[in-house]
Structure 1
């Protein structure tokens, strides 16, 4: 099932999410499939629970389409459930980011180049790994979603003021996208 993508201004994007419990394991299989299908339909490389209106600690990433530019992403497809970033390390690097929930806006965001993250997969198997480079950027972007943070929150105050009109337009549905969206009520 393809979900509509929740856009800027919806309160679910600002909530810190709740963990899944092992009893929800069976429901997760279909949810993960639906999240990947929704993400692919919108031409995204990551999607978090809040972006489909679900205030739960889950995000999916398939960054393989960027492998030509970033070879380390050649096999970077993962499901992160109940994720916790344990450490952020490495240099600060700036690059442009966009978001399915903030369509039409791409801005330069500074993030650390290395993260250590603990999470479970859809089988509730625990993983702990160090992720570097562009993969670390994507993980931090999606992780922010489950913390109630959007990439525009990392911008300077002046830049945020300059984007206010565009952000308000998005929250009113005045945006041209090729996927279904869900507006704030």
Structure 2
């Protein structure tokens, strides 16, 4: 049965480590980690979560886009486990948009990301997958991929003025309240 694991927070040294390659995808502990990540991201109303956020330093994350209070305009997709992912190509176009992180609660930032990426990853059945991701789904992938290299979204901010609290984000961006 999947467990709702505690999500580690910014400052925990595991978030700054380079995660290890998953060698045996069929390993029972890896399969359980996939279940735990999926249950945790769903319960937390997230759109993605990486294994290091559950204090498991493996190259594995879940992309689980769906509309929710944190991302009301997110597209709908089934939670997808991506093991040993790689970005193999990307667009030249970079777009800045708002991101938050379950490991950095209460803060949002305007983060530049590639608008489109081509990725490879292994699925939980040990099959190699190749996809082109765009817009919000590409953003989620890049955000989670950064976690595997010890990078959090605040490291990508071009300026500290691009940071905002979750409360201000909800009022100004989601509810469109201007100054």
| TM-score, scaled to structure 1 | 0.79
Match of 1:177 in 2: none
Q: Do the aligned residues in 1 keep the contact of 2:146 with 2:152 (CA within 8 Å)?
A: yes
Shift of 1:76: 4.8
Aligned residue pairs: how many? 161
* SS across alignment from 1:7: coil
Partner residue of 1:179? Answer: none
The offset of 1:114, in angstroms, is: 0.7
Q: What stretches of structure 1 move > 6 A for 4+ residues in a row?
A: none
8 Å CA contact 1:6, 1:51 repeated in 2: yes
- Alpha-carbon separation, structure 2, partners of 1:90 and 1:23: 33
**Structure 1 gaps, min length 5:** 167-185
* Alpha-carbon distance between aligned partners in 1 of 2:25 and 2:106, rounded to the nearest angstrom: 39
Q: Deviations over 1:8-41 (max 9, x none)?
A: 0111001111111126533322211111111122
Higher RCO by CA contacts (8 Å cutoff, separation 6 or greater): 1
1:3-82 alignment runs, 5 A limit = 3-22=5-24, 24-65=26-67, 69-70=73-74, 73-82=75-84
Paired residue secondary structure (2:45): coil
State the Cα deviation string for residues 37-76 of structure 1 (Å, max 9, x = none). 1112222111101100011000011102269735xx3235
Aligned-residue Cα RMSD (Å) equals: 2.3
The separation in 1 between residues aligned to 2:40 and 2:72, in whole angstroms, is: 23
Structure 2 CA distance for partners of 1:80 and 1:151, relative to 1, 3 Å: same
1:69-107 Cα offsets, whole Å, 9 max, x none, are: 35xx32353111011111221411111100000000011
Q: Secondary structure at the match of 1:5?
A: coil
Cα contact 2:9–2:103 (8 A) shared by 1 = yes
Q: Does the residue aligned with 1:87 lie in a helix, a strand or coil?
A: strand
Matching residue within 153, 157, 163 for 2:155: 153
The separation in 2 between residues aligned to 1:117 and 1:135, in whole angstroms, is 12
